[in-house]
Structure 1
């Protein structure tokens, strides 16, 4: 008899797990709290622009992931950003970086396409707008409930992929009187995260720079990352520029609750100073996104994850892999999906 498997979260890890389970004798249901997929690898559209305002691209640091993106999945519209990432220091001094030969992949329609193409290769049902709030241990499996205490069904195995603090909250609500549940929650809850506030700045003119992005290397600048979406085919119309300005974790924590206009005004001034172009203080439209749990700075112990799997409860994500990168989350999802298929 086929297993019923629930995946909580439709980010890169959840999509990777569903892909790995595509040929398993199982019915897969994915519960995603937002309206889209791919989590922090997110894409928005506005005024003929597409922009990746969370994770900006997928790196080629993992052979399994690279083969998946370039050989197994549909490659139509796949974009390999040609321009390099340069660096800058606390004084705003810009210098050449070291990744000129690295692949930096996204899609003409945005990096969200990664999860969409993975799910398209499966029979998984993705339920958007569903926030799981309570996993209940029941009959050698799990029953899930949403925030309205609506019964989402009984599952033989459950995979949790939200950021570690949100996964810890789910474990805290679990009706599972087992020492492991407490140990698991404590281990997950202490995974540290960096908070990032992103400002999106659009301009009705072109910029000529030899780099795609700048990254701060000493963690002493208010800007942590600045990138140019016009370097991605299909993202920005000719004659326009679109900057993604991700503020430093310290700045982001201090200004997390600021008004959008305050955030974009400060980000625009910082971008103008960094790029030595005062035109950038006056974008013609802007957008923002606050990521409270943007980047995991550590992982969770393998031993605890293994013990949870013995009870049909699985964990996946960049915080399980111990590396805050899209390719790490995807690889961990692929591995965890294969592990579930072998159970």
Structure 2
């Protein structure tokens, strides 16, 4: 299978890059190891409902995210969740104005929207990259699902690597002509992990929650040793029949428990901690699920919009490892990577607007 461009990773950076190149006229294949688009803007189906276990909501971080919010609100994919954010510190709640937008169908609706019309190879992990005799990139792919209809290799003129740096370094090395300076920059990028708990409660607790009538939809814990954020996820859903909460751990808590073989116990520990601060019955869920994010937040993004390799065939890294970090940085990095790839190939006219 031959393409102009292979994009590795269907997160925000990979999707924004692939869309800009596709719209310019390039043939693009996106390779994604999971079963859905969006990366850490993720939703899980659980116990007859949905829970956003990745990105909590979209908020204006810059022009790229703001324009995306406007487009998705206009298309009834996003809606305003709350215009106030709360922070718990020193035993008290403090509020500040901030508009937070969510997708009632789940935050992965954002990725689904950006993935429209793209050729995405789900359930494929890149095992190795090499060069062909006629100066192309050759990608060898590992199957991570049961879909054997998609080929396990592809050839492309250019490659965009839009995944966390440690994952990229599993197949990027000096053997394929990458210079030590490029690889050293990738190795310098560090990430903070996060453990996320999704917990559901008895439908009878819905009335109790109504009686409590908490002012908050979500609470941030800036300096807590264990907690980073707690959200009433079921308040995002139109059809919710029971309270569902999502809890994000602190980086230090995740570091301590990242390799635990007993994730339910780890999740229960976070719920116990949450119940001490917010609502006592939060430590008694009907069900809970736990997800590990090894590369939740880039700690030290590189001061570039994208990281291009020199002295080899066109290859560039993009994502929240570049620029401002967060979703804004990922979107802008993907667009910058598309511009760079275009400069190495045909220099086709690109849409420079942020019209998602």
| Interval containing the TM-score (normalised by the shorter chain) | 0.7 to 0.9
User: Which residue is 2:124 aligned to?
Assistant: 130
- TM normalised by structure 1 equals 0.87
Q: Give, in whole Å, the separation in 2 of the partners of 1:18 and 1:309.
A: 23
Whether 1:184 and 2:189 are equivalent positions in the alignment is: no
Secondary structure class of the residue paired with 1:171: coil
2:247 equivalent among 234, 245, 259: 245
Q: How does 1:43-62 map to 2 (within 5 A)?
A: 43-62=43-62
1:321 equivalent among 310, 320, 323: 323
Whether 1:283 and 2:278 are equivalent positions in the alignment is: no
Give the superposed CA RMSD.
2.4
- TM normalised by structure 2 equals 0.84
Show CA shifts across 1:221-249 (max 9, x none). Answer: 31111111123143x614x2111111111
Show CA shifts across 1:236-295 (max 9, x none). Answer: 614x211111111111111121412212221221111010x3211110111110111111
Contact map agreement 1:29 1:126 (CA 8 A) in 2? yes
User: Which residue is 2:140 aligned to?
Assistant: 145
**Structure 1 residue runs without a partner (length 5+):** none
Whether 1:214 and 2:219 are equivalent positions in the alignment is: yes
Length, aligned pairs only? 327
1:199 equivalent among 189, 197, 200: 197
Q: Give, in whole Å, the separation in 2 of the partners of 1:49 and 1:303.
A: 38
Q: How does 1:66-105 map to 2 (within 5 A)?
A: 66-71=66-71, 75-89=75-89, 91=90, 93-98=91-96, 100=97, 102-105=98-101
**CA deviation after TM superposition for structure 1 residue 308, in Å:** 4.0
Structure 1 residues 55, 283: closer, same or farther in 2, change over 3 A? Answer: same
Contact map agreement 1:194 1:292 (CA 8 A) in 2? yes
**Structure 2 residue runs without a partner (length 5+):** 144-150, 345-356
Q: Give, in whole Å, the separation in 2 of the partners of 1:78 and 1:285.
A: 27
